[in-house]
Structure 1
Amino acid sequence: MAFELGAAGPAQSEYLYHFTGRNGGSPNWVPDEIRSMNGAQRLEAILWEEQFRAFPPFGAADVGASGRPCVCFSECSPEHMAQLFRWGHFDPWGLVTTREVVNGLGGGTVAYVPKEEQQRFRRAGLGHWAVSTGNGISWMHEREWRLPLPRPATSIRINGVAAILVANADWRPRRMPVAWTDGENGGALASFGETPFAMPFEDYPRLWQETPVWVWDPEAERVVTYEPGALR
């Protein structure tokens, strides 16, 4: 049962963002196929797979140790999100959920602590809950939440998506085959073997059709909301 969360204050937000366009390095244990993608490509892959892949975050465990895989989110008010984009830490690509959803799945906010305290978290097997504020940078600008997964799980099915965040209203995920149709009359088929005229029917991912899309407007520094299915 999720902990009862209080109302978000002016500096907080009910929304948590899983940014797929995060600028900076990635841990070398993240597969090359993911590290080589840009934010739009990662978002498209998530929409089709309908799951978040999880990996141990930076600093979650000592070198050579296996930290808990986590799905990471940032808590952003519109003003804070605009500042993240100004700083260049993130690009406006990703999925939006809420504090209640992540908390209900076992996630929560990380602790920003000095390096010595982070070591205490690690020794207790809780390194995934702490981020070091040493080495001249605090990382507190990320306002990070994490959803740790138990080993050996490395992914979790998407749950409670409030919106899809994109940088351009002209962007669309790829259409891919999702069913079969009769090439003669256009009727739906249960399988390609029903008729020699069977043709693949291509469509957008289910989430793209069923979820509001938020398009970031860099001049107004706000999102423009499109209802589910509007951007086809």
Structure 2
Amino acid sequence: MTAPIPGLLGSAGPAQFEWLVHFCGRPNPAAVTPTVPLAIRNQQPWQRLFSILWEGQIRGFAPFGSDSPMVCLSESPLEHLRWLLSTRQWPPWGLLLRRQTVYDLGGGPVWYARPEQLEMLPAELRGWTVRFETGVNRSDWLHEREWRIPVPLANPVLPLPADAVPVILVGDPNWQPTALVSRTICVDDSGMQVQPGQLGHPQMVEMLELPHLWTAAERWYWDPDQQQILQIPR
């Protein structure tokens, strides 16, 4: 059976946003789902962003109350995103994906469900839900405005299309995911690269390389002093 072709979403209204942010960390003391391996939990948010950019994929994990791995995002217009970073203390490291791209990849908004509604759902749908409850067992995460993308249980990763990430959010305007790669090239007497066999002397040089997702995206920086999201000049 042929998979359905995703349709186009309507334009985002003033309370919505065309881009959804995948944060690379959680604010303290927010709990992390126990399905996240300890090695990843121990990483700093910028280290997680580094891995995502170089691997070209986001790893998904089963959220609380579910066995279905998901990649989680937040639909946060700029003023709401500023509030998450300043008041709710979310670490300012993440990727923003187009809302349409998230939908095309099988994603959608979560269901904030009361406990009695959750009990009516089959296990295979629990990954789409967030428990909504007040009182002793309080669970109120409406401010996260969450979307999720399901990923396969056997290989719970979301490969990112080359044009999927229009913006990257960082907490340091000078940060970049560089890696030193050593390789041998032939150079002539002036230091210009030439083809092997031509006049020149091979030598080892260190070449700075950057992942495509980084070079193709705008970069935003959260300035804690100004309490503003600023665009980093290219």
Report the counterpart of residue 20 of structure 1 in structure 2. 24
2:26/2:32 contact within 8 Å kept: no
Report the counterpart of residue 212 of structure 2 in structure 1. 206
**Aligned partner of 1:182: which letter?**
I
2:111/2:129 contact within 8 Å kept: yes
Write the mapping of 1:160-179 to structure 2, written as runs, cut at 5 A. 160-177=164-181
Report the counterpart of residue 79 of structure 2 in structure 1. 79
| TM superposition shift of 1:189 | 8.2
TM value normalised by structure 2: 0.83
| TM superposition shift of 1:48 | 1.0
TM value normalised by structure 1: 0.83
Report the counterpart of residue 48 of structure 1 in structure 2. 54
> Relative to 1, partners in 2 of residues 1:224 and 1:181: Cα closer, same or farther, differing over 3 Å?
farther
Report the counterpart of residue 64 of structure 1 in structure 2. none
Paired residues, number: 216
**Aligned partner of 2:124: which letter?**
G
Gaps of 5+ in 1: 61-66
Report the counterpart of residue 38 of structure 1 in structure 2. 44
Question: 1 CA distance for matches of 2:202 and 2:39?
Answer: 37
1:6-55, CA deviations, whole angstroms, 9 ceiling, x for partnerless residues? 22121111110001122222222211111001111111111111110111
1:181/1:188 contact within 8 Å kept: no
Compare 85-94 and 162-171 and name the one that shifted more. 85-94
1:175-232, CA deviations, whole angstroms, 9 ceiling, x for partnerless residues? 232x624275463889xxxx973444232222222211111233554432235xx2xx
> Relative to 1, partners in 2 of residues 1:88 and 1:183: Cα closer, same or farther, differing over 3 Å?
farther
Structure 2 residue 124 is matched with structure 1 residue 140: no
* Aligned residues with identical type, % of pairs: 37
1:155-179, CA deviations, whole angstroms, 9 ceiling, x for partnerless residues? 12112111111122122223232x6
* Structure with larger Rg: 2
1:78-111, CA deviations, whole angstroms, 9 ceiling, x for partnerless residues? 1111111233351111000111000011100000
